[in-house]
Structure 1
Amino acid sequence: MIAIIYGSTTGNTQDIAEKVAQHLGSENVELFDVKDVGLEIIDAFDQLIFAIPTWDYGEVQEDWEEVWEEVDNYDFNGKTTAFIGLGDQLGYAEWFVDAMGMLHDKVVARGAHVIGHWPVTGYEFDESQALTQDKQHFVGLAIDEDTQRELTDERVAAWCELIQPQLAEAA
Structure 2
Amino acid sequence: MSKIGIFYGSTTGTTEDVARKIAAKLGVEKSDLHDAAKISEELVNKYDVLVLGSATWGDGELQDDWYDGVKVLKAAGISHKFVALFGCGDSDSYSDTFCNGMGNLYEELKETGCTFCGRTETDGYTFDSSISVVDGKFVGLALDEVNQDDLTDQRIDNWIEKLKTECLN
Q: TM-score, normalised by structure 2?
A: 0.90
> How far apart, CA to CA, are the structure 1 residues paired with 2:40 and 2:92?
32
Deviates more, 1:41-50 or 1:71-80: 71-80
Q: Percent identity?
A: 36
Aligned to 1:86: 88
Q: In angstroms, what is the RMSD of aligned CA positions?
A: 1.8
Aligned to 1:160: 160
> How far apart, CA to CA, are the structure 2 residues paired with 1:29 and 1:81?
19
Q: CA deviation at 1:128?
A: 0.5
Aligned to 1:39: 40
Which of residues 99, 102, 116 is equivalent to 1:100? 102
> How far apart, CA to CA, are the structure 1 residues paired with 2:35 and 2:57?
17
Superposed, 1:1-171 pairs within 5 Å as: 1-27=3-29, 30-35=32-37, 37-40=38-41, 41-133=43-135, 135=136, 137-169=137-169
SS in 1 for 2:87: strand
The unaligned stretches of length 5 or more in structure 2 are: none
> How far apart, CA to CA, are the structure 1 residues paired with 2:9 and 2:44?
15
Q: CA deviation at 1:65?
A: 2.9
> How far apart, CA to CA, are the structure 2 residues paired with 1:27 and 1:38?
17
The unaligned stretches of length 5 or more in structure 1 are: none
> How far apart, CA to CA, are the structure 2 residues paired with 1:79 and 1:66?
19
Q: TM-score, normalised by structure 1?
A: 0.89
**What letter corresponds to residue 125 of structure 1 in structure 2?**
F
Report the CA distance shift for 1:165/1:54 in structure 2 as closer, same or farther (over 3 A).
same
Q: CA deviation at 1:29?
A: 7.8
